[in-house]
């Protein structure tokens, strides 16, 4: 089973929940936690393990061959992302804009745009007690998270079978990186906080996952803060709230030391248990 942990808003507690839930579930299941926030992965701060494997990741971009090019202009017409620009007698390629769709390369009548690999980042695989942890990080200057997120999921799917519980910590937002991180999930947990900001972005996230036709539920973090409006919204829209993590200073303190919370705060562990029960029901 693949569980994606997402949110519209940043800083709602995706990583806190992902790391704690993965470690908690690893007491009874084989778990792999994957941090797909490739711009700033940090789930690894909470999970201890030994480095198992390290891979450089590449994306494919077209390279212009001046000798065979007839300057017909097909490539720039076919590129949806303006990653190829024809300026008189030359073709310019912008790797940062390229989505590796191959259209220019495949449709070039003279094969003058062969695809070549370009380094975009690094994947690291750690293993611990009954839990594996995978994270990828984009190189500085790389603008596109999607190809690296896709390849990271591929790595997990290739290395772990369906008996492993796969938890994917998604990037924030509602745009392409989140879609890539959640599109193959069996179940999505949306983490929010009971504030106007949390509610605003939760609505966007709900629209996104509905568009993807995914089964999902909400976890409210920092419960006790703010107002009741997130609750009202979920009730009106028949969205299950499967846990409410209390707003406790102790949780913040443990988090800021980079330690796992459920081992020290029983109220937190109770909420993880509710999530775990819900997930187990979803699995059946």
Angle at which helix 266-283 crosses helix 14-25, to 10 degrees, equals 70
Indicate which single residue of 73, 77, 81, 253 sits in contact with another protein (rule: CB under 8 A).
81
Which helix H or strand E contains 223, and what residues bound it? strand 216-223
Distances (CA, A) of 2 to 112, 138, 211, 279, 284: 41, 23, 18, 10, 13
Q: Does 77 bind another protein (CB under 8 A)?
A: no
Q: Does 94 bind another protein (CB under 8 A)?
A: yes
Residue 175 main-chain phi, psi, to 5 deg: -105, -165
Min dist CB 68 to another protein, Å, is: 21
Tokens (6 digits) for 75: 């490539």
Name the residue nearer to another protein (CB basis): 83 or 185. Answer: 83
Q: Does 63 bind another protein (CB under 8 A)?
A: no
Q: Does 266 bind another protein (CB under 8 A)?
A: no
Q: Does 82 bind another protein (CB under 8 A)?
A: yes
E strands of 110-208, at which residues?
A: 115-127, 131-138, 165-169, 187-192
Among the listed ranges 12-20, 89-97, 118-126, 157-165, the one in contact with another protein (CB under 8 A) is 89-97
Name the residue nearer to another protein (CB basis): 72 or 225. Answer: 72
Q: Does 90 bind another protein (CB under 8 A)?
A: yes
d(CA 243, CA 268): 10
Name the residue nearer to another protein (CB basis): 87 or 140. Answer: 87
- Find out whether 15 and 42 touch, Cβ atoms under 8 Å: yes
Q: Does 97 bind another protein (CB under 8 A)?
A: yes
What is the binding site for another protein (CB under 8 A)?
A: 80-83, 85-88, 90, 92, 94, 96-97
């Amino acid at each position: 089973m693949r569980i994606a942990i997402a949110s519209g808003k940043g800083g709602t507690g995706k990583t806190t929940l992902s790391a704690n839930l993965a470690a908690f579930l690893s007491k009874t299941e084989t778990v792999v936690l994957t941090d797909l926030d490739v711009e700033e992965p940090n789930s690894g701060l909470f999970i201890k393990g030994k480095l198992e494997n390290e891979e450089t990741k590449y994306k494919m971009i077209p390279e212009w061959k001046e000798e065979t090019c007839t300057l017909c202009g097909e490539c720039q017409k076919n590129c949806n992302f303006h990653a190829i620009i024809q300026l008189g007698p030359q073709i310019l390629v912008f790797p940062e804009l390229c989505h590796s769709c191959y259209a220019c390369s495949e449709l070039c009548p003279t094969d003058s745009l062969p695809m070549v690999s370009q380094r975009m980042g690094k994947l690291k695989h750690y293993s611990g007690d009954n839990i594996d942890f995978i994270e990828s990080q984009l190189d500085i200057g790389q603008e596109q998270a999607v190809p690296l997120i896709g390849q990271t999921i591929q790595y997990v799917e290739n290395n772990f079978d369906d008996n492993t519980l796969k938890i994917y910590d998604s990037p924030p937002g509602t745009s392409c990186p989140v879609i890539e991180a959640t599109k193959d999930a069996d179940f999505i947990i949306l983490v929010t906080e009971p504030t106007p900001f949390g509610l605003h972005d939760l609505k966007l996230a709900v629209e996104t996952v509905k568009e993807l036709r995914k089964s999902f539920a909400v976890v409210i973090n920092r419960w006790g803060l703010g107002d009741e409006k997130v609750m009202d919204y979920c009730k009106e829209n028949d969205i299950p709230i499967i846990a409410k993590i209390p707003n406790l200073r102790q949780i913040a303190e443990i988090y800021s030391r980079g330690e796992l919370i459920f081992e020290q705060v029983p109220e937190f562990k109770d909420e993880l248990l509710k999530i775990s029960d819900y997930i187990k029901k979803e699995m059946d």
